[in-house]
């Protein structure tokens, strides 16, 4: 029998019973479909969701005799299959879109009428206070009984935009304020959805990032030295963060169980993979924030070839390692920060390149992004490219510390000391 791949199981079962006149006396809602060698499908799933190919054998089973998800024999393959094509998207109904727009149109004039004059010295403080109030309200509300996360986040973002626009803080202070708001918003969303583990990871990672930056400022390292250290740390963390997230989610324990001969169920691995990438997305954003901030701090040192080499190496590492991240939020954050950092560095007055290179490069990137869904790359070519990227990534990682030594001027000092003798 030919079954449509895009129709849910709940809609397929009555049609199957009508065409086959099966002897099963159970009601359609009491039945489900089970592919041979796999687990039973939920009523809302489609054959396409379950990745059932043409020619597959499917049984009509009772839901009270549902077949559990198959056991896992290879953790890497199962994790890759579970995360393939994942995306981090937010969907909401038209009614929420209308309520969000109306709430912003009402809240912004109200805030402007209550805040002091934009030219006053206290406008920035009171504006940031008004920006934080919707986030505080969001933490007190349980998303399960009152869905206001999108509305309150949009109001907070609108107030932040107005505050930064009218207060006109210094560029670096404004950059820090915007990223602090992002961290606070992610923490508030985690608490609002009662995702306590994600909220805990967000809070701890944000505090550690703030602590590292604060330590650099109180040590009076200077913009160049602080930027060099932070850029190096971000280049190292981009390789360590996936391991940290896997440990926190407990997926490494599944790997140990497989090594001991145990066979965990696919559903257990799926839940751990989701937890791993929920925390990893937060850590990836903090790493990208650190990298971009370091690049901005190193802008005045753009005439130093060692500094330029370190910046380009880190940007290339972030771009290459984005291929390991299955979530759209992770890849967007990494590739976006790499593009912003690269464009900023190339546009510096101290970096002399032909004027036509920048628009040509940006145009090529736009063409690549737009045509990427049309590519049909053979599997052996894709495997060869992955192997080449892995080797190139290893070389870039090994070159970080030698280039960092050159950026600090140690090679020049050694040459001077030897030539002076």
Query: pLDDT of 94-152, one tens digit each?
Result: 667 777 888 888 888 888 888 888 778 888 888 888 888 888 888 888 877 887 878 88
- Whether 297 has a pLDDT exceeding 80, the answer reads yes
Domain ranges of the chain: 9-67
Q: Give residue 263's pLDDT.
A: 66
Q: What is the mean pLDDT of residues 49-72?
A: 67
What is the per-residue pLDDT across 150-176, written as a single tens digit (0 to 9) for each? 888 888 888 888 888 888 888 778 878
Query: What are the tokens at 380?
Result: 């052996």
Q: Which of 31-45, 229-243, 296-310, 396-410 has the lowest mean pLDDT?
A: 31-45
Q: Give residue 88's pLDDT.
A: 47
Element (H, E) at 58: strand 58-62
**226, burial (CB in 10 Å: exposed 0-12, middle 13-18, buried 19+):** buried
Between 94-114 and 123-140, two packed helices, what is the crossing angle to 10 degrees?
140
- Whether 89 has a pLDDT exceeding 50, the answer reads no
What does the alpha-carbon distance between residue 149 and residue 100 come to, in Å, rounded to a whole number?
10
**CB atoms near residue 417 (< 10 Å):** 9
What does the alpha-carbon distance between residue 417 and residue 346 come to, in Å, rounded to a whole number?
34
What does the alpha-carbon distance between residue 107 and residue 17 come to, in Å, rounded to a whole number?
55
What is the per-residue pLDDT across 348-379, written as a single tens digit (0 to 9) for each? 766 666 777 777 877 887 887 777 767 776 76
Residues 135, 188 contacting (CB under 8 angstroms): yes
Q: Give residue 73's pLDDT.
A: 47
- Whether 66 has a pLDDT exceeding 80, the answer reads no
Residue 100, classed as helix, strand or coil, is: helix
Cα torsion angle, 125, 130, 131, 133, sign: positive
- Whether 87 has a pLDDT exceeding 50, the answer reads no
- Whether 65 has a pLDDT exceeding 70, the answer reads no
DSSP string computed for 313-339: HHHHHHHHHGGG--SHHHHHHHHHHHH
Residues 258, 184 contacting (CB under 8 angstroms): no
Element (H, E) at 173: helix 171-192
Residues 268, 68 contacting (CB under 8 angstroms): no
Q: Which of 75-84, 177-186, 327-336 has the lowest mean pLDDT?
A: 75-84
Beta bridge partner(s), residue 265? 71
Q: Give residue 21's pLDDT.
A: 61
What does the alpha-carbon distance between residue 97 and residue 103 come to, in Å, rounded to a whole number?
10
Q: What is the mean pLDDT of residues 228-239?
A: 84
CA-to-CA separations, 331 to 35, 106, 230, 326, 417, in angstroms, rounded: 33, 35, 21, 7, 46
Average pLDDT of the chain is 77
């Amino acid at each position: 029998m030919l079954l449509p791949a895009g129709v849910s199981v709940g809609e397929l079962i009555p049609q199957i019973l009508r065409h086959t006149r099966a002897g099963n006396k159970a009601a359609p809602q009491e039945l489900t479909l089970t592919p041979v060698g796999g687990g039973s499908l939920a009523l809302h799933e489609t054959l396409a969701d379950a990745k059932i190919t043409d020619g597959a054998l499917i049984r009509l089973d009772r839901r009270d005799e549902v077949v559990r998800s198959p056991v896992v024999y290879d953790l890497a393959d199962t994790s890759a299959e579970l995360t393939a094509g994942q995306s981090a998207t937010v969907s909401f109904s038209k009614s929420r879109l209308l309520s969000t727009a109306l709430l912003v149109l009402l809240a912004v004039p109200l805030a402007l009428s209550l805040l002091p004059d934009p030219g006053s010295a206290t406008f920035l403080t009171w504006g940031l206070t008004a920006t934080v109030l919707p986030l505080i309200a969001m933490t007190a509300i349980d998303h399960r009984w009152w869905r206001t996360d999108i509305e309150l986040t949009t109001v907070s973002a609108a107030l932040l935009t107005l505050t930064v626009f009218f207060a006109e803080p210094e560029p670096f202070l404004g950059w820090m304020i915007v990223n602090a708001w992002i961290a606070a918003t992610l923490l508030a969303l985690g608490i609002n959805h009662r995702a306590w583990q994600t909220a805990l990871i967000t809070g701890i990672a944000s505090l550690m990032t703030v602590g590292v930056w604060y330590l650099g400022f109180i040590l009076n390292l200077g913009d160049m030295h602080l930027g060099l250290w932070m850029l190096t740390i971000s280049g190292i963390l981009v390789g360590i963060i996936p391991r940290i997230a896997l440990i926190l989610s407990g997926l490494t324990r599944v790997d140990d169980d497989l090594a001991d001969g145990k066979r965990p169920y696919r559903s257990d691995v799926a839940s751990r993979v989701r937890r791993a990438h929920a925390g990893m997305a937060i850590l990836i954003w903090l790493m990208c924030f650190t990298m971009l901030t370091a690049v901005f701090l190193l802008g005045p040192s753009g005439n130093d070839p060692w500094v330029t080499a370190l910046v380009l190496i880190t940007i290339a590492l972030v771009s290459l390692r984005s291929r390991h991240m299955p979530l759209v939020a992770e890849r967007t954050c990494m590739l976006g920060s790499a593009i912003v950092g690269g464009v900023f560095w190339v546009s510096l007055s101290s970096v002399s390149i032909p004027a036509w290179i920048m628009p040509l490069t940006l145009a090529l990137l736009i063409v690549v992004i737009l045509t990427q869904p049309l590519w049909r790359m053979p599997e052996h070519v894709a495997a060869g490219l992955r192997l080449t990227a892995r080797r190139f990534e290893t070389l870039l990682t090994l070159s970080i510390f030698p280039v960092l030594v050159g950026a600090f001027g140690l090679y020049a000092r050694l040459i001077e000391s030897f030539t002076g003798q």
